[in-house]
Amino acid sequence: MPDVNPVAAQRIEAVVVAALAVIVTVTAGYPWWWLLALFLVFDLSMLGYLHGPRLGATCYNLAHSYTLPALLGAVAVITAALRDPIDWLGVLAVAWVFHIAVDRALGYGLKTTEGFEHTHLGRIGKARPLDR
C-alpha cells in the first residue's frame, strides 16, 4: 500500500470542502460571488501580528479553525428550525468555511508561534524549503 502524504490529503480535502461551500451557497439561493465578496474579511485576524507572533497566531488560528463557523452555522440552523431564521448567519458561516478551505487548499495552515510562515501544513513563503 503506498504511503499517504497527510498534507496532500488535507489539501485535497480542503478543495472538496470549498466546492461544497459553493454548492451550498448556490443551492440556498445566494449568489456564489458572495463567497468572494466576504473572502478577505476573515483575514483581518492577521492584525494580531501587529502585537507579536503569539497573539497573531492565536487570533489567526481562531479565525482559521472550523470550530467558530461550525458554531455559527449551528445557530443559523437552530434559528431556522425555530421558524425565526437569521439568513445572514448561514451565509456568513458558509463563507467562513469557504475561506478556511481555500486557504488550506493553497497550503496556508494554522500558525505556530514561530512566525506567520510556520504552519501545521508546513512552511510557506520565504521559510519554505526549496524543492530539489
Residue 51 has pLDDT above 50, yes or no: yes
- pLDDT value at position 3? 81
- Dist. CA 108–CA 32, nearest whole Å: 23
- pLDDT value at position 121? 73
Q: Record the pTM.
A: 0.88
Least confident of 79-83, 87-91, 119-123: 119-123
- Dist. CA 51–CA 48, nearest whole Å: 6
Residue 65 has pLDDT above 80, yes or no: yes
Cell of 129: 524549503
β 122-123/111-112 pair status: unpaired
